[in-house]
Amino acid sequence: MALDWTTALSFLIDGLMLGFVFGVAAMGLTLIWGVMDVINLAHGPLIALAMFGVYLIMNFLGLSNPYPALLLTTLLALPVGMGIYYLAVHRVIDAPHLSSLLATYSVNMMLMGVMNAVFGGAPRNIDFSLGSITLFGDIVVPTARLVAALAAVLIAAALYFFLYRTRVGRYIRAVTDNRDAAELVGVPSTTILALSFGLGVLLAAFAGGLIATIFPFTIFDGGRYELKSFVIGVLGGLGNPIGSLFGGLILGVIEGLVPMFLETSWTPVIEFGLFVFILLVRPTGLFGGKS
Amino acid sequence: MSQRKPSLPPAFRLADFRPALPGRHWANWALPLLVVLGLGIFPLLTGKDVHRETMFTLLRAVVMAVSLNIILGYTGYVSFGHVVFFGLGGYVGFYLVAVQGRTLWEALLAGGLAAGLLAWLIGIGILRLRGAYFALVTIGVNEAVKAFIQNFDPFGGPLGLTMNFSVYQAYGGPRAMLQMTYYILVALAVAAVLLAYAVRTSKFGLGLLSIREDEDAAEVMGVVTPLAKTWAFVLSAILPGMVGALFFFRNGSVEPHEAFPLHLSIEAIVMVMLGGQGTVLGPVLGAAGYQAMRAFLLTNRYLKDIQLTVSGALLLLIVLFIPAGLIGWLRRRFPASRRVLL
């Protein structure tokens, strides 16, 4: 492939836009980890479920535009996440990691089993087009990706506002810092934990829905994005939601640039290599996390 | 002021493999061994090939579960991608037989070694870290190795490798080969149980159990935890690697999706949890019980599509309500059984 600057720049911009979306997915994972030290292994299937949620709602209501369906799916994700918390996580919240990992993994298995039975493995896509726009004179960008990137930045800003400017957000941060102390001063910790889990799932669902507007998807795709979320989460520091956004950007740049030098099938090998490298050199992530 | 560097005690000496406490009941090792041998001999008594093939799958699961238990049950670290050792051992063994023209014995050895080496590399890198990081890495490692092998031309890339059936002539033809590989698998299953027993009752195993209970306390008591964890991981990887080499030799072909089925790792976890993590007999019973349940679900008209969901629900129920599994529950409920059941 000829290495001209226009190609490089368009790969880079593409990668950056996807990076924001992946970053939001990782924010969901890392928010849960930060608040309750639980790694949500149902993250991937939940992303896939959101993709199908957007697809189904769109077809059911006969919409021609996926964004209202995306909004509805995102709102539905909050109670789903809280339900998962009460059903699977609450009993093992203070148990060793083994228990919470296996508990969330069992949710993963159940979701995958149901989705496999209902939807099968066939790929779907959301049939709509926003066309594309041209930036800087000669770089063509699909509008759907630009919208997805902007939406991702918006929800990250909303999360920041929620965590730092509202009472409930302050409760969440209090529970993150010290759950016992938060309980002593009257924070309803169980509700806050459930809400945090729901928020994490909400972010995952939002990212999943955005990805569905860009790429075709199958029920098995969730696993891929889950893996990306782990890599991003570790890059940005597990437990640091805003770091995730930057981690997503780094991953996006890598994904944008790798195809210029190697075949795309090498991307998972490189991503994983980076993941292990960061864990070895700086386990708290580039931007600091919760130790 | 110069301070003498304290020399680290070696984490893995042969002496550590002597039983930590005397006075073990003979049933502690005899019961799991009897179960494995009973399962292994059953198809020889009936003489039916179909029983032998069923038992081959079951014993493969036994080896996976019993091996996984060393890191999952004894040490308390979850490996979500244990099948990577099965697949890697399978690929290395298959490559030696099909491309290099080596014997099955060399393939078995090399498969076990390759798996052990990979586990060692992951272990020294990652097991310094505590808790959940290790689980994250094991999820990624399966995908990464699979992606790597799909791009690795000597192993046939995405198409994999196939074997010329004339290779089997050296082992008395395909029929005799099927019988012989079955005996080898029974031997490997026996080896897995003996290894699990030896680790569980040794001083090294006691160190692993203390890591599971409280890693800080274990360190204070002199367990060199990163080394002990790494060796536990290596020990849990070798036999799955050998079984992989055996399985794909018997299969006659190997390709990436067949070699790294993630569901096999997950099923092994469910088996260990079902039978009782951290016990010797538990994973054996868990593997047998899970396979029986799976066979029932897959042949049931209504349940076969949601078999994964049922397994997941089962895992959740165990984790939430009987985290000790069957054997652990029996040991707690009937204290008198503790002498016999391990």
What string of DSSP letters covers B58-113?
A: HHHHHHHHHHHHIIIIIS----TTTHHHHHHHHHHHHHHHHTT---HHHHHHHHHH
Q: Is B267 exposed, middle or buried (0-12, 13-18, 19+ CB in 10 A)?
A: buried
For residues A224 and A264, give the distance between their C-alpha atoms in angstroms, rounded to a whole number.
14
The predicted model gives A136-143 an average pLDDT of 78
- The pLDDT-based confidence of A290 (bands split at 50, 70, 90) is low
For residues A25 and A247, give the distance between their C-alpha atoms in angstroms, rounded to a whole number.
11
For residues B203 and B205, give the distance between their C-alpha atoms in angstroms, rounded to a whole number.
5
Q: Which of B136, B309, B311 sits opposite A114 (nearest CB)?
A: B309
The total number of structural domains in chain B stands at 1
**B126: contact with A, CB 8 A cutoff:** yes
For residues B87 and B230, give the distance between their C-alpha atoms in angstroms, rounded to a whole number.
20
Beta bridge partners of B110: none
What is the reported pLDDT for B113?
Answer: 96
Residue B131 distance to chain A (closest CA, Å): 6
Residue A121 distance to chain B (closest CA, Å): 12
Q: What is the helix (H) or strand (E) element at residue B253, kind and residue range?
A: strand B253-254
**B271: contact with A, CB 8 A cutoff:** no
B288 domain residue, yes or no? yes
Nearest to B257 by CA among B116, B83, B136: B83
Nearest chain A Cα to B213, which residue?
A: A96
For residues B90 and B166, give the distance between their C-alpha atoms in angstroms, rounded to a whole number.
19
Residue B197 distance to chain A (closest CA, Å): 22
For residues A276 and B5, give the distance between their C-alpha atoms in angstroms, rounded to a whole number.
30
What is the reported pLDDT for B2?
Answer: 46
**Cα–Cα distances in angstroms (integers) from residue B251 to residues A270, B56, B163, B243, B246, in the given order:** 31, 12, 9, 12, 9
**Cα–Cα distances in angstroms (integers) from residue A163 to residues A22, A160, A200, A205, B231, in the given order:** 20, 5, 13, 19, 43
Residue B143 distance to chain A (closest CA, Å): 8
For residues B246 and B86, give the distance between their C-alpha atoms in angstroms, rounded to a whole number.
10
Nearest chain A Cα to B307, which residue?
A: A113
Q: Which of B126, B136, B140 sits opposite A39 (nearest CB)?
A: B136
B23 domain residue, yes or no? no
The rounded mean pLDDT for chain A is: 88
**Cα–Cα distances in angstroms (integers) from residue A226 to residues A22, A28, A151, in the given order:** 9, 11, 20
Q: How many CB atoms lie within 10 A of CB A157?
A: 12
Please list, residue by residue across A72-99, b when 16 or more beta carbons sit within 10 angstroms of its beta carbon and e when fewer do: bbbebbbebbbebbeebbbbbbeebbbb
CB contact under 8 A, A117 and B313: no
- The pLDDT-based confidence of A195 (bands split at 50, 70, 90) is very high
- B 139-158 residues with CB < 8 A to A: 139-141, 143-144, 147-148, 150-151
Structural contact between residues B63 and B188, judged by C-beta atoms closer than 8 angstroms = yes
CB contact under 8 A, B140 and A116: no
What is the reported pLDDT for B250?
Answer: 92
Q: Which of A102, A230, A234 sits opposite B319 (nearest CB)?
A: A102
What is the reported pLDDT for A43?
Answer: 94
Sign of CA dihedral A259, A263, A264, A267: negative
Domain range for B55 is 31-339
**B37: contact with A, CB 8 A cutoff:** no
Contact residues, chain A, for B307 at CB < 8 Å: 113
Give the SS3 label for residue A94. coil
For the segment A87-119, what is each residue's pLDDT rounded down to a tens digit? Answer: 999 999 988 888 888 899 999 999 999 998 898
Q: What is the helix (H) or strand (E) element at residue A128, kind and residue range?
A: none
- Percentage of residues in chain A with pLDDT exceeding 70? 97
Q: How many CB atoms lie within 10 A of CB B120?
A: 15
Nearest chain B Cα to A100, which residue?
A: B319
Contact residues, chain A, for B78 at CB < 8 Å: 97-98, 101-102
Q: What is the domain partition of chain A in residue ranges?
A: 40-108+142-219, 222-291
What is the reported pLDDT for A3?
Answer: 60
Give the position of tokens 């059936």.
B165
Interface of A with B (CB under 8 A): 37, 39, 41, 88, 91-92, 95-99, 101-103, 105-110, 112-114, 116-117, 223, 227, 230-231, 234, 263, 265-266, 268-269, 272-273, 275-276, 279-280, 283
Per-residue tokens: A249: 């950007």
Q: Which of B273, B306, B320 sits opposite A114 (nearest CB)?
A: B306
- pLDDT tens-digit profile, chain B (342 residues): 444 544 444 455 666 666 666 668 888 888 999 999 999 999 888 888 899 999 999 999 999 999 999 999 999 998 888 999 999 999 999 999 999 989 999 999 999 999 999 999 988 888 877 777 888 888 778 878 888 888 888 898 888 899 888 888 888 888 899 999 999 999 999 999 999 999 999 999 999 999 998 899 999 988 888 899 999 999 999 999 999 999 999 999 999 888 888 778 888 998 999 999 999 999 999 999 999 888 888 888 777 778 888 889 988 998 899 888 899 899 888 888 888 888
Q: What is the helix (H) or strand (E) element at residue B249, kind and residue range?
A: helix B225-251
Give the position of tokens 């042949």.
B299
Q: How distant is the alpha carbon of residue B298 from its chain centre?
A: 24
Q: How many CB pairs under 8 A join A and B?
A: 124
Residues in chain B: 342
Q: How distant is the alpha carbon of residue A280 from its chain centre?
A: 24
For residues A192 and A35, give the distance between their C-alpha atoms in angstroms, rounded to a whole number.
9
Ramachandran class of B222: left when φ > 0, alpha when ψ lies in -120 to 50, beta otherwise: left
CB contact under 8 A, A106 and B312: yes
Sign of CA dihedral A34, A37, A38, A44: positive
Structural contact between residues B101 and B234, judged by C-beta atoms closer than 8 angstroms = no
Would you list the DSSP string of A141-174? EEHHHHHHHHHHHHHHHHHHHHHHHSHHHHHHHH
* Pairing status of strand B161-162 against strand A139-142: unpaired
- The pLDDT-based confidence of A286 (bands split at 50, 70, 90) is confident
Contact residues, chain A, for B124 at CB < 8 Å: none
Q: Which of B144, B269, B313 sits opposite A268 (nearest CB)?
A: B144
> What's the N-to-C CA distance of chain A in angstroms?
43
Q: Which of A105, A108, A265 sits opposite B151 (nearest CB)?
A: A265
Structural contact between residues B190 and B288, judged by C-beta atoms closer than 8 angstroms = no
* Pairing status of strand B253-254 against strand B161-162: antiparallel
Nearest to A13 by CA among A136, A99, A158: A136
For the segment A197-240, what is each residue's pLDDT rounded down to a tens digit? Answer: 999 999 999 999 999 998 999 998 888 898 889 889 888 887 78
Residue B78 distance to chain A (closest CA, Å): 6
Nearest chain A Cα to B318, which residue?
A: A103
Per-residue tokens: A28: 């969901």
Structural contact between residues B34 and B284, judged by C-beta atoms closer than 8 angstroms = no
What is the reported pLDDT for B1?
Answer: 41
Structural contact between residues A281 and A229, judged by C-beta atoms closer than 8 angstroms = no
> What CATH number did the domain enclosing B68 receive?
1.10.3470
B3 domain residue, yes or no? no
Per-residue tokens: A73: 């799916």
B9 domain residue, yes or no? no
For the segment A76-87, what is each residue's pLDDT rounded down to a tens digit? Answer: 999 999 999 999
How high is the ipTM of this complex?
Answer: 0.87
Beta bridge partners of B19: B202
Please list, residue by residue across B17-45, b when 16 or more beta carbons sit within 10 angstroms of its beta carbon and e when fewer do: eeebeeeeeebbbebbbebbeebbeebee
Structural contact between residues B211 and B104, judged by C-beta atoms closer than 8 angstroms = no
Give the SS3 label for residue B311. helix
For residues A58 and B47, give the distance between their C-alpha atoms in angstroms, rounded to a whole number.
58
Contact residues, chain A, for B312 at CB < 8 Å: 105-110, 112-113
